[in-house]
Amino acid sequence: MTTPVTLDPQQAGSRLHELTVIDVRTPGEYAGGHIPGAFNIPLDQLGRALPEIRGAAERGEVLVVCASGARSENACRTLAESGVHTATLAGGTGAWAARGNDLDRPEGGTRATWGMERQVRLTAGSVVLLGLALGEFVHPAFRLLSAGIAGGLVFSAVTNTCGMAAMLAKLPHNRPRQADLEATLTRLRAG
């Protein structure tokens, strides 16, 4: 598997006018702040958007971004397997903002949706606490729930994937409305 080309925030910023930026975060994360001009195509919708992304790649370089860079690297690999070569932003939008670059937000300000990593930490921590409490007060076997989450976190770190994030991405506040994704794809087609 090939390693995607990586641009740092300074390189991306100096070339932003010539890049097509695809943000693979959830719509809630995207609404919280995104690179100016970025198209929001959540990671789980890449297959559906492949023709539009391929067209954008034929017109010029495509930069794939997420919060920290992990999801965008996975997206770049997935796209490369389909013959679409892209670049990723080192450190994601977090690094972009840390360098003092602006983030666009939809009219009306920031939505209250937390970033995916924060949602995963809250969910994992809650399930671990629940497993420990049920194990103490109901039946010791409930501690296996906590052990399962711990095992999942280790697996997530080793494989650089996250099953819990994939499940949380399916929640309504993390899903694009059909009309939003179609409008994004139409704008991307137009170039």
pLDDT at 6 over 70: yes
pLDDT, tens digit, 9 for 90 and up, residues 58-114: 999 999 999 998 899 999 999 999 999 999 999 999 999 999 999 998 765 545 568
pLDDT, tens digit, 9 for 90 and up, residues 47-69: 999 999 999 999 999 999 999 98
Report which of 77, 48, 76, 65 is spatially closest to residue 9, judged by C-alpha positions: 65
Residue 15 buriedness (CB in 10 A; 0-12 / 13-18 / 19+): middle
Task: Give the CATH fold of the 5-112+175-190 domain.
Answer: Oxidized Rhodanese; domain 1 (3.40.250)
Q: Say how far residue 177 (Cα) sits from the centre of its chain.
A: 17
Q: How much is the pLDDT for 61?
A: 95
pLDDT at 4 over 80: no
Question: What beta strand segments (E) does the chain contain?
Answer: 5-7, 20-23, 39-40, 62-65, 87-89
Q: Is-contact 27 180, C-beta < 8 A?
A: yes
pLDDT, tens digit, 9 for 90 and up, residues 146-167: 999 999 999 998 988 888 988 9
- If pLDDT is split at 50, 70 and 90, which confidence band does 176 have? low
Measure Cα distances from 20 to 45, 83, 102, 152, 188 in Å.
17, 17, 17, 35, 9
- Amino acid sitting at position 32: G
Mean pLDDT of 24-49: 91
Q: How much is the pLDDT for 173?
A: 79
Measure Cα distances from 40 to 18, 45, 123, 136, 155 in Å.
18, 10, 24, 44, 28
